[in-house]
Structure formats: C-alpha cells, structure tokens
Structure 1
C-alpha cells in the first residue's frame, strides 16, 4: 500500500513538473495578436482602487492609435517608448510559478479589489484581458489572471532574465503615458527663430537662415553684421530632444487658467522650413515656501511653459542653450 502511494506521489510530482514546464514556456499571446504597434488599436488600463476625483470612481487611461500615432485619453500625444515597453512586456512575460494553495484565497481577494485591468483591443474586438495584481514578497514576480486562459486562475508572472516585478509597467496614471517632448527639431528643419524677452527687450533677437546658408540676425528690425557666424549657426542645433518635467492639469490647489493669465517673461517662435510655426510662452513660477529657492521671489530651477494649449513644468537647465540673449551672438569689439 505504501509502495503504491509512493509511486502515485512520484507520478503526480512528475506530472506537475511537466505541466509547469509547458506553461512556463507559453506566453499566451500569438504574434498575430500583438505585433508591436501594428495590430492593436486601443489599450485600456483601469484600476479598481477607489479614486474619488476620477470618472466612475476609478482611474482609467485609454491609449488609442490613430493612423501611425498613439494618443492618451484622446488629448495628448503618447510616449511611444512607454507603449513599446508595455507591449514588449506582455509578449515576453511567462509563468514563473502557480499560486500556492495557502495564498490562493488571499491573492484572489486582492485581485478582485486592487487589481489593474488591461484590455487589448483590435478595432472593436477585445483580443485579450489581463488582471494585474500585486507583486510577490521577493519582488521578482507579479500576480496575474489571464482571462479565458488557465481556467481564470491566478499565476505568478515574470520575464525570463529580468530580476524585478512587472505591475509598475501597467500604470493607470495619465501622466506616465504622455509624451513630454517640447521640441525635437533638427537644425535643417528650422528656418527662423524669434526670441522675445518681455521684461528686457534689449536681449531679444530674431535669427534666420537665408537661402545662401548665411545667418541674418536682427533686433528692433535692425540687421546686425558683427555676429559670430559659427555660434549663430550652431544655435539652430539646440532644439533637439528638449523635454518638460511634467504636464500640468487642474487640481484642488492648482488652476491652469490662473497660470496662463500671467504675463510671460519670454516668448519663442520657431518657424520651420515647412512654414509651420511653434510658439512657446515662458511664465515664471512663484517660489515655494520650502526648498532651495524659498528665499527668492521666483523659482530659479523651474518655470511654466505654455504651448499648444498645454501647460508644462520645465527645468531651466533644459533651456540653457535656448534662452540666449542678443549679446551672445555678437562679436566683441
């Protein structure tokens, strides 16, 4: 009798190992289901945790593809790198282990109340739904349920070769998905730049590349001739990969309309070779009551930027090579 029990135990163990091995190699997503940005048209991430200020009481982010571009909640350009990371995560994640008998009940309760629901949509069809829960105690796996797979049972998922958890990649925070690019313009795309300092017009200038690749520098409609041509030409290179720190929206302590009513301290207008125009207004940020700039009237590290009806928080250091003054372009006598 004991021998039969031992054989049965061994067989069950072998069968369990085989099932686990097979499942751990299955990523549940066919290449035709998720083909990096080509098939999916929408991704909806919603968190069941209570959010009193959110529509329907839950946090939700909709990432939608229109043409070749992705958008966040139909308002902002999406950060394509973040979307690629999300899709790559879904394609590569595999089962690390089943959920233990003793933890199953607790994990199911948490997945019911605190999970993030991820819906992958192609046209109008939901091709896959994932419930993403918390992380394991060792922070090396994440509890998930793949709907309509594995009897809707929870499993611990991970990515082979990656030592970390996955649930932070399924964020429901709108700001985490927005493209924070202010300018990403190459030198050859720019035709003309006008930088006006509203508090000190003597610093303002107007710089243009002529058809002969010569630089024309103006101030108060006067063309200046004693200019540093090399410095002036290189100035057009300073508008690539310029990012803001944050996209700002209304909250209980902050009103966007109040900020944009303030007088800007600079305005920069960039005319492209295509005749498109980009206009950014810089607005001073009042100093906070605490922090390194508390003794200054204005924050010396950050300012507000207003472009395309969007208010941004920008670090001055990102604009070090943009906020030049007229004298920077002139040859000293």
Structure 2
C-alpha cells in the first residue's frame, strides 16, 4: 500500500511537470505567433526596408503622418497599414515539406517591418510574398523559429502589397500641403492674375492622380523642360515659396483622339522636383473664369 502511494505521488509529480512544460512551451509559441499590434493609437513610428536597399520611415506628427521626416504621407494608406497591423493573424502553419523553400525564399526576398510605440521598437516582422492561392502572406516574427501564413479574417487576398517601400506610393496626393498666403498665376503671354482668398483656400483641396517617374518609355526630364502653359507662384504662410508648372500632355489614344493636339482630361504638374499627373477638373473653380479658362482649356471655346 505504501509503495502504491509512492507511485501515485511520482505519477502526479510527472503530470504536473508535463503540464508546466507544455504551458511554458505554449506561452513561448504564442508570443512568437503574435503578429498583430492591438493598440495602434500608440504606434508613432513605422520603418519599412527591403532587400533592394529601399527604406522609408513613417512618423506620426501632430496633424499628419510624415514620410521620411519631410513629406506629408497619404493618410488613406496609413490608415490601411495600421488596420492591417492591428487585424492580421495566423491563417495556418506552413507544411513541413514546403518550409525549407519558404525559409530560403524569405532569406533573399523580404520586407522588414519595424513597429515603434513611444519611439521604442516593440516588434520586427519579416514579410515575404503571397501564397500560391493568393489568400495569405508569408511572415515571420524576428526571433521565431519559423514563418507562418498570415491573413486578415474576412479579407480574401494577400497583404504584402500594403508594406511597399516605394516612396511615391506613400506620398500624400495633395498638390499643395502648406497653408497658402498668396498665389500668383503667370500666363504664357506675360500676364499675371492674383487669386482671391476664397480661391486660395480651394487650392488645398486639389489632388493629383499619380506621381510619375522615369522608365524606358518615359523621361521626366524631357517633360519638365517643356514650356508650361501656366505657372503658379505659391507664397506659403511659413515664408516658403513654391512653383507649380502646368504642362500639356499628349493624348494617350492617338487613334481615337488623332484630331486632338493635347490630352483634354489630364496635364502634367511639376513642383519641388516631382512630376504629377493632374486632372483638369481639379481646377474647375479656376476655369469658371473666362480669362483663365481660355488658357487652361482653349479647345473649350
């Protein structure tokens, strides 16, 4: 009877040790599987960096998020990024047979995500490409033993595109980001027009369609050296001065619009060494003036 009691105690101790070991192991595993950051309101800095040596920093300012310390960031994309960081979670582990190839792929192709709260780094995540069905994204927390397939419940798609390191993607598409004090429009016949205060306020509501960069079929230098049809001199309340050159654009569909010399929907805008594509309708309130309309859209006479 005494031996039976001793055996019972030994078995009980072993069970307790096994439960404790499993609990510790599970806690450690959960910690390395916890991709989401719940309270994104406290996140004040995000750094993205990839293997192509592209790196950008997003910082929370008093009124706006700031890209690389100087550029106002696109708030829609910031909100989408914070929502992604908050809601993403593991969809499933990676099959053992596929794990070596995925790890090898992540070693050469990944985006590093650093998340900061109160300027203290709280998490680093490595983000690779999408799964073959494009319904998940391979991710790995720094210090973890292996990557996982991550998704957002209810969203059918992959998440890697939300962590782009391309600076142009993160720029705010607002053409004018500062408070404007005075605006002078210089026309190509040496005439000048000063905008009223009510029209000046509307300039901050103008957005470009996209930012343009050079490639094998498009040269920004060629475009920006063209003679602008209108030049806007902007004097900001912080004492800085900016210049926006409005430049004609050739029609895209030459067969359909072969009788049009210029694109009648969009033009190029060049400011602060950045070339933008802007729709004429963004300046509709200016074109209500007959004198300006004849310069913006002479074909509408």
What CA deviation, in whole Å up to 9, does each residue of 1:271-320 have, x standing for no partner? 56676655322111234574754543222222111223322221222222
Q: How many residues align?
A: 269
Q: Does 1:208 align with 2:196?
A: yes
Q: Does 1:325 align with 2:289?
A: yes
Q: 1:205 to 1:92 in 2, by over 3 A?
A: same
Once the two structures are superposed, the pairs formed by residues 146-157 of structure 1 within 5 Å of their partners are: 146-149=141-144, 151=145, 153-157=146-150
Q: Please give the secondary structure, in 2, of the residue aligned with 1:299.
A: coil
| Residue 249 of structure 2: aligned partner | 285
| Residue 99 of structure 1: aligned partner | 94
Q: 1:59 to 1:286 in 2, by over 3 A?
A: farther
More strand by share: 1
| Residue 47 of structure 2: aligned partner | 43
Cα displacement (A) at 1:107 = 2.3
CA distance, structure 2, for counterparts of residue 275 and residue 106 of structure 1: 56
Q: 1:253 to 1:75 in 2, by over 3 A?
A: farther
Q: Is the 1:25–1:95 contact (alpha carbons within 8 Å) kept by the matching residues of 2?
A: no
Q: 1:76 to 1:184 in 2, by over 3 A?
A: closer
Q: Is the 1:36–1:84 contact (alpha carbons within 8 Å) kept by the matching residues of 2?
A: no
Q: Please give the secondary structure, in 2, of the residue aligned with 1:101.
A: coil
| Residue 314 of structure 1: aligned partner | 278
Q: Does 1:263 align with 2:257?
A: no
Cα displacement (A) at 1:190 = 5.8
| Residue 18 of structure 2: aligned partner | none
Which residue, 27, 40, 45 being the options, matches 2:34? 27
Q: Please give the secondary structure, in 1, of the residue aligned with 2:249.
A: strand
- Bigger Cα displacement from structure 2, 156-165 vs 274-283: 274-283
Once the two structures are superposed, the pairs formed by residues 108-257 of structure 1 within 5 Å of their partners are: 108-120=103-115, 127-149=122-144, 151=145, 153-183=146-176, 192-199=182-189, 201=191, 205-209=193-197, 235-236=199-200, 238-257=202-221
RMSD over equivalenced CA pairs, Å: 4.0
Unaligned runs of 5+ in 2: 1-21, 294-301
Q: Is the 2:59–2:67 contact (alpha carbons within 8 Å) kept by the matching residues of 1?
A: no
Q: Is the 1:24–1:95 contact (alpha carbons within 8 Å) kept by the matching residues of 2?
A: no
More helix by share: 2
Q: 1:59 to 1:322 in 2, by over 3 A?
A: farther
Q: Is the 2:49–2:55 contact (alpha carbons within 8 Å) kept by the matching residues of 1?
A: yes
CA distance, structure 2, for counterparts of residue 290 and residue 74 of structure 1: 42
| Residue 6 of structure 1: aligned partner | none
TM-score, normalised by the number of residues in structure 1: 0.64
Q: Does 1:88 align with 2:78?
A: no
Q: Please give the secondary structure, in 2, of the residue aligned with 1:140.
A: coil
Cα displacement (A) at 1:250 = 3.6
Q: Please give the secondary structure, in 1, of the residue aligned with 2:227.
A: coil
Q: Please give the secondary structure, in 1, of the residue aligned with 2:263.
A: strand
